[in-house]
């Protein structure tokens, strides 16, 4: 049912104006306005707050899901039902297994670009890869969002492989090489500009603009892999796994690039010896985690 706040009507059909003047109100009402009002009624000093709330909220109208824009979401809900039906018919235990705690092998850092869906391009199903995506597939050392994902995946999920995936025709990489100001976004794109600065002598020698773009996409992925390699959580885990008899050193870090024009993933050669040679700077433990 619609709550039309500019009429001061709640879903118990009580006049808010009458409530404000008499203090009488039904405590069973849970509409947005009354949620504030009921909490405040027992304290007379909050009456001013209630009046202010009414003035603020009377310009808003809250509609039911049956409004004219609902079909945009209805289409997605229908898609979901078809997806459930398809998976249930092909595997009756599909959702029983999906309801179990996750134990993915892979952590994926990728771009938010809608053309690069992580599970699909990797050929993995739900529960097989832990995913973090952002503009430009960046993993900077000061981004608490990405670093929280990294720590959770490594320390709590126990992933053995970390994948950073960039893609050609990346809008973020293109924007980072243009002379323009995109406002707040520039604070993020500057991280890609910094990658260009680190490799400028090499990149500026590439005459073809498209080839230069593709190479910057690759170098950006490589730099993010190295950023991950520098983190304490990765160093610590690699040292711990080295001490376990018969086990391999994990997590392993892989750089990939996706070609949107052909759908193929290509592996990149990441030279981690660059980090190892700077062990005195980036090493957080004396046990040589970079080796």
Q: Is 236 a residue of the active site?
A: no
Structure tokens at 211: 């080839």
Among 7, 18, 86, 115, the active-site one is: 115
Q: Count the Cβ atoms, other than its own, within 10 Å of residue 76.
A: 9
Among 111, 132, 214, 225, the active-site one is: 111
Q: Count the Cβ atoms, other than its own, within 10 Å of residue 124.
A: 16
DSSP run (H or E) holding 268: strand 264-268
**What's the residue count for the chain?**
291
DSSP string, 175-186: HHTSS---TTHH
* Distance, CA of 288 to CA of 291 (rounded, Å): 6
Q: Is 66 a residue of the active site?
A: no
Compute φ and ψ for 167, nearest 5 degrees: -150, 145
* Distance, CA of 32 to CA of 4 (rounded, Å): 11
Among 25, 113, 225, 238, the active-site one is: 113
Among 10, 31, 170, 225, the active-site one is: 170
Among 132, 167, 213, 214, the active-site one is: 167
DSSP run (H or E) holding 54: helix 47-57
Q: Is 111 a residue of the active site?
A: yes
* Distance, CA of 248 to CA of 242 (rounded, Å): 7
> Burial of 283 by CB count in 10 Å (0-12 exposed, 13-18 middle, 19+ buried)?
middle
Parallel, antiparallel or unpaired: strands 106-111 and 161-167? parallel
Q: Count the Cβ atoms, other than its own, within 10 Å of residue 119.
A: 14
Q: Is 167 a residue of the active site?
A: yes
DSSP, res 7: G
Structure tokens at 44: 């007379």
Structure tokens at 69: 């824009």
Give the active site residues.
111, 113, 115, 167, 170
């Amino acid at each position: 049912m619609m709550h039309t706040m500019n009429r001061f009507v709640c879903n118990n059909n009580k006049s808010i104006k009458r409530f404000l003047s008499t203090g009488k109100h039904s405590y069973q009402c849970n509409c947005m306005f009354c949620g504030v009002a009921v909490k405040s009624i027992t304290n007379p000093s909050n009456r001013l707050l209630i009046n202010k709330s009414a003035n603020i909220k009377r310009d808003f109208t809250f509609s039911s899901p049956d409004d004219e824009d609902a079909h945009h979401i209805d289409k997605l809900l229908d898609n979901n039902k078809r997806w459930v039906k398809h998976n249930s018919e092909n595997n009756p235990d599909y959702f029983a297994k999906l309801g179990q705690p996750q134990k993915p092998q892979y952590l994926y850092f990728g771009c938010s670009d809608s053309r690069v869906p992580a599970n699909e391009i990797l050929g993995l199903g739900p529960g097989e890869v832990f995913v973090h995506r952002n503009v430009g597939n960046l993993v900077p050392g000061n981004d608490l969002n990405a670093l929280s994902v990294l720590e959770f995946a490594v320390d709590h999920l126990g992933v053995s492989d970390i994948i950073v995936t960039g893609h050609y025709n990346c809008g973020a990489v293109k924007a980072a090489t243009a002379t323009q100001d995109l406002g707040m976004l520039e604070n993020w794109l500057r991280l890609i500009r910094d990658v260009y600065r680190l490799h400028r002598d090499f990149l500026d020698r590439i005459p073809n603009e498209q080839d230069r773009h593709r190479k910057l996409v690759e170098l950006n992925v490589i730099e993010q892999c190295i950023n991950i390699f520098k983190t304490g959580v990765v160093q610590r885990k690699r040292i711990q796994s080295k001490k376990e008899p018969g086990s391999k050193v994990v997590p392993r870090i892989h750089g990939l690039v996706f070609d949107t024009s052909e759908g193929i993933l290509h592996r990149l050669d990441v030279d981690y010896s660059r980090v190892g040679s700077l062990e005195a700077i980036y090493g957080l433990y004396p046990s040589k985690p970079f080796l």
